[in-house]
Structure 1
Amino acid sequence: MNSLGTLVVIILVSAIGIYFLLKSANNDSYKEKSKKPVSPKKYDSSKNIIYTKQSPRKDHRKFTSRAEADKAVNSLRGILEGILMDQKVTKGEINELNKWCVHNQGLGHMNPFKDFLHTIQHRILTESDKLDTLEDIYWLSQQYQENNIYYNAVTSDMQTLQGICHGIISDGVIEDLEVIELYGWIEKNKHLSEIYPYAELYKLLSDILDDGVIDDEEIKSIKSFFQEFVELNDKKLMSTIKEDTTGISFSKINPIEIKEPIHGKWVCITGELNKGTKETLYSRVERNGGVRKNNVSNKLNYLIIGGAGSPAWTFASYGRKVEDVISRQKKGHDIKIIKENDFYEYLERTGS
């Protein structure tokens, strides 16, 4: 091959090389432009999960909420166990519980978290016996953990009952058929027999339907009860119902009343009060000769339960002390459970 031919070959090879080099560069540029931008990754140390735009936080939380709830309850139970070990409650320990509340505020729409949050953020700040309140919270955490499936089933059924009552009273009128149908639902759900307010409502409806006649006063009694269990959004209607039931208290048909002087009787108070503090109520007990007791025992005569309607006990029976008393009653011990309103009625009745 002469020199001219060699030169032509070199030029052709060079041109081909440059062509493929430019094509490769253009392809790489196109691929880079066609890539979808990826958002910066975010790391959630509490769950060891990395979130991107393709795995939004809210979607993951929807699927991990149950695990998150269990983890939060375990954490709370551990904190409480640590605090209760020395049977003392310090300001620093209360602050730590408040931090737990802040950290788990997002779970506040769920039971039992709205119960925990309410009790820690409200009751524990106002009650002098903080140790007793913490033991209540610890008891509730045990109920959640040890009876998780049962707890959730009961919670669902009690919410249904609350919804039924809400629907019945929503127009301010209670028809006879509604009373009969409600009693039918109550009869079918006797597994709720030890849960507030099932037992009270069952007793109320049984007494009303016993004679086969539902009169106006009995309808007012049902409305009075519903006021304790249901809060309507229509404030005007609520006010009308309240006026309509003036002088009628559900507690008056409660089978448990104080019929004798409390002088020398042992009295314990539990739960959140409608009126004042436990210290104030204990003072009135002692002024009437009663003996203050902070814990349940076989010698206890009366357990007074607060009537504030705290959500902390709406779906978990009344609380650990009531559970304790019921257990002792079954063994033959004569301990009476009294509602706060009934006790105040007793004080007014006796002029003390």
Structure 2
Amino acid sequence: MTNFENSDLQVVTTKSRADKAINSLKGLLLGIISDDVIDVKEMDELRLWAKDHYDLVHRNPFREFMLLIENTASNEIPAKEAVEDLYWLCQKYEHGSIYYDGITSDLQLLQGIFHGILADGVLNDDEIFKLHEWLSENEHLNSYYPYDEIRSLVLSIVADKIIDEEERTVLTAFMKQFVELKNTDIAAKIDRDTAEVNISGICAVDPEIIFENKTFCITGILSRGSRSELQQAIQDKGGVPVNTISRKTDYLIIGDTNNACWSYSCYGRKVEKALGLRKEGHTIVMVHEFDVFDAI
């Protein structure tokens, strides 16, 4: 009789089952999109797949699979988009789940470093140079947000080995985007200290949103309304809502609860594509759903 109490055997068995589940899902997705038409019965089959594999929900990237499948109907995420996101996740896993788990872990560690540095509300020179040292030792994160941005910023700050107050404030403003300080007094102090600094991260800060003849694409799960409602509102304002991001896209609207892919591979498929296009020189503004709803 197989001894499932053996922890090594359990790990191997779970890994084997996870790989088999990923392959079966990938095949299912390829079959579903083979005729480029996705109907209700096919989406129901995806939900049944999720139900059959729910015991793997605590293993990357199954939590993201389950969330995406569960939220497709309730949040009006187009079926084609959901299937493409799921297939994208399968490919990420297939191309080296250990590598991507490591990337995610290191980016979470970087966020923790930001948190620790800002915990006392003071950013000193030693902390900046230590951060520079860590970034230099982790160049495998190159091309992942926010590593590229923080690396460029820190390099520009330490280049002359003299850190002025403006540079210190800008760096503080950048890092605070990724930190939720429990000490409200310190959080308020940092907000006051950086009030005059406008940092552009993934989502633009206080963006000017022009609707007339501009193209808008939505990603993730909206918390203030449905996709159809937002798309109609955009259209009423003279904008053009689309489901696919391209070089012609002017705005990518990011849902408040984010794409389910985010926690597994750092950000979702559309955001990844938008960042890539932006690096190529295309002007794509990524905006939070709240800013769009507020502008309508």
Q: 1:225 aligns with which of 177, 182, 204?
A: 177
Q: 1:212 aligns with which of 163, 169, 185?
A: 163
The residue matched to 1:69 in structure 2 has which SS? Answer: helix
Aligned equivalent of 2:91: 142
Q: TM-score, normalised by structure 1?
A: 0.65
1:317–1:59 CA distance, 2 compared to 1 (3 A): closer
For residue 116 of structure 1, what is the amino acid of its counterpart?
F
The residue matched to 1:314 in structure 2 has which SS? Answer: helix
Q: 1:160 aligns with which of 91, 96, 109?
A: 109
Post-superposition offset of 1:73: 1.0
% identical aligned pairs: 32
Aligned equivalent of 1:265: 214
CA contact under 8 A between 2:104 and 2:266: conserved in structure 1?
no
Q: 1:340 aligns with which of 266, 288, 292?
A: 288
1:278–1:241 CA distance, 2 compared to 1 (3 A): farther
Within-5 A mapping of 1:97-246: 97-148=46-97, 150-168=99-117, 171=119, 173-176=121-124, 177-202=126-151, 205=154, 212-214=163-165, 218=170, 221-222=173-174, 224-227=176-179, 237=182, 243-244=188-189
Structure 2 unaligned spans of 5+: none
CA contact under 8 A between 1:269 and 1:304: conserved in structure 2?
yes
The residue matched to 2:221 in structure 1 has which SS? Answer: coil
The residue matched to 1:194 in structure 2 has which SS? Answer: coil
The residue matched to 1:142 in structure 2 has which SS? Answer: helix
Q: Distance in 2 between matches of 1:152 and 1:290?
A: 39
CA contact under 8 A between 2:219 and 2:258: conserved in structure 1?
no
1:192–1:293 CA distance, 2 compared to 1 (3 A): same
Post-superposition offset of 1:291: 0.9
1:286–1:141 CA distance, 2 compared to 1 (3 A): same
Aligned equivalent of 1:254: 200
Structure 1 unaligned spans of 5+: 1-49
1:281 matches 2:230: yes
**Count of aligned positions:** 288
Post-superposition offset of 1:89: 4.0
For residue 298 of structure 1, what is the amino acid of its counterpart?
R
Higher relative contact order (CA closer than 8 Å, sequence separation 6+): 2
Post-superposition offset of 1:88: 4.1
Deviations 1:44-67 (CA, angstroms, capped at 9, x unpaired): xxxxxx53xx55375522233322
Larger radius of gyration: 1
The residue matched to 1:56 in structure 2 has which SS? Answer: coil
Q: Distance in 1 between matches of 2:261 and 2:16?
A: 22
CA contact under 8 A between 1:274 and 1:308: conserved in structure 2?
yes
1:238–1:321 CA distance, 2 compared to 1 (3 A): same
Q: Distance in 1 between matches of 2:122 and 2:257?
A: 25
CA RMSD of aligned residues (A): 3.8
1:138–1:243 CA distance, 2 compared to 1 (3 A): same
The residue matched to 2:60 in structure 1 has which SS? Answer: coil
Deviations 1:249-284 (CA, angstroms, capped at 9, x unpaired): 899400675557331112212223354333333233
The residue matched to 1:133 in structure 2 has which SS? Answer: helix
The residue matched to 1:181 in structure 2 has which SS? Answer: helix
Q: Distance in 2 between matches of 1:123 and 1:92?
A: 14
Post-superposition offset of 1:96: 3.0
